[in-house]
Amino acid sequence: MIRFHKYTIAQYWVQEFGSPENKDEFNVLYSLSPYHNIKKGNCYPSVLIMSGDKDEITPPLHAYKYTAKLQASQGCTENIVLLKNMKNAGHNFGADFETNVDSRTSEIVFIIKTLGLSVAD
């Protein structure tokens, strides 16, 4: 959240989110930042982070950086942190029918595996 305004169209969101250039607003953004609130050694739940390589709203670099830090900080081995980057997909992953089906399938499979469900359930 402290550099969001430097990428793509996010410079237009400063009025909504606040400016990292302003000390008071920086402090609020820093305290809310998912990236900056990751603590090494915490046992985080299993996470599937999804991004689209053509996302103009939230560039995939944010997902890459967040995933890497969360993986490096994960304090328990039973919970996984995964990243799926969809090719030719934008912010909502629905670039085309196949991409949309692929992203939704990944979500469902992740939930089934994370909850320990079987197909028969």
Q: Provide the pLDDT for residue 94.
A: 61
Residues 87 and 54 occupy one common structural domain? yes
Residues 83 and 27 in one domain: no
pLDDT at 121 over 60: no
- Reduce the DSSP state of residue 84 to 3 states and report it: strand
Mean pLDDT for 69-85 is 95
pLDDT computed for residue 120 by the predictor: 67
Identity of the amino acid at 37 = N
Q: Which is nearest to 49 in space by CA: 112, 115, 107?
A: 107
Residue 1 has pLDDT above 90, yes or no: no
Tell me which residue of 57, 120, 67 sits closest to 92, measured CA to CA: 57
The token pair at 54 is 């053509």
> 33 and 46: one domain?
no
Are residue 48 and residue 32 in the same domain, yes or no?
A: no
Least confident of 33-47, 49-63, 64-78: 49-63
Verify that 49 and 4 share a domain, yes or no: no
Its pTM stands at 0.83
Q: Looking at the structure, do residues 44 and 68 belong to the same domain, yes or no? A: yes
Specify the number of domains making up the chain.
Answer: 2
CA atoms within 13 A on the CB side of 49: 22
45 and 58 fall within a common domain: yes
Q: CA 43 → CA 67, 74, 99, 116, 120, distances in Å?
A: 15, 6, 32, 18, 30
Residue numbers of the domain that contains 72: 38-121
Task: Give long-range contacts, CB 8 A cutoff, 24+ apart: 110-113.
Answer: 110/46, 110/48, 110/82
